[in-house]
Amino acid sequence: MTAFLLIWSPKKWPWPELPDFARRVRAGEAVADTWGCGFARGILPGDRVFLHRVAAEPRGLFGSGYVTRAPYEVPDAAYKRGYRLCIDFVVDF
């Protein structure tokens, strides 16, 4: 099994749903989400992911999960190529 680090910067990407997201995970719910994965096309369902907070305290790992859908293209005009890659994953801790 391969593992990947998913980076989150609250300075760049607000995540107002995070407190509710965390509450649900702590209650034992497997919470699904989508995340941008840069150019990484080799991520496979079942691979582990770890959520890492950067750029603002508290920094560090704050969650983990597993990939449920391999990278797929999402239209995005902000990117030169016209799309970005995303994965779907479930947070289990």
Residue 38's pLDDT is 85
Share of the chain above pLDDT 90, in %: 87
Structure tokens at 5: 């680090």
CATH topology for the 3-91 domain: 2.30.130
Structure tokens at 36: 């941008």
Q: Check whether 35 has a pLDDT greater than 80.
A: yes
Global confidence as pTM: 0.88
Residue 77's pLDDT is 86
Dihedrals phi, psi of 31, to nearest 5 degrees: -95, 125
Structure tokens at 21: 């997201």
Q: Check whether 52 has a pLDDT greater than 80.
A: yes
Instruction: Report residue 38 CA to chain centroid gap.
Output: 11
Mean pLDDT of 33-54: 94
55: left (phi over 0), alpha (psi -120 to 50) or beta: left
